Amino acid sequence: MKNILLIGASGGLGKHFTKGLAEEGYNLALHFNDNSAKLDETIKEIDEAGVKISAYKADIADEASVKEMIDKVKADFGSIDILINNAGLSLNAMSWKLSADNWNKVIGVNLTGPFLCSKHVIPVMRENNWGRIIFMSSVVGQIGVPGTAAYAATKAGLGGLCKTISKEVMKSSITANVISLGYFKAGLLYQIPEDIREQIRETIPIKKFGDPSEILECILYMCSDKSSYLTGQTINLNGGLY
The residues annotated with a catalytic role in the active site are 151
Helix (H, G, I), strand (E, B) or coil at 225: helix
Q: How far apart are CA 76 and CA 152, in angstroms?
A: 35
- Cα-Cα-Cα-Cα torsion 73, 77, 80, 83, nearest 10 degrees, comes to -60
H helices of the chain, in order, are 12-23, 36-45, 63-77, 100-107, 113-128, 140-143, 149-169, 194-203, 212-223
CA distances from 172 to 54, 67, 175, 191 (A): 27, 21, 9, 40
Q: Which amino acid is at 228?
A: S
Q: Name the residue among 153, 125, 148 with its Cα closest to residue 137.
A: 153
Taking the C-alpha atoms of residue 179 and residue 159, their distance in angstroms, rounded to an integer, is 10
111 secondary structure, DSSP code = I
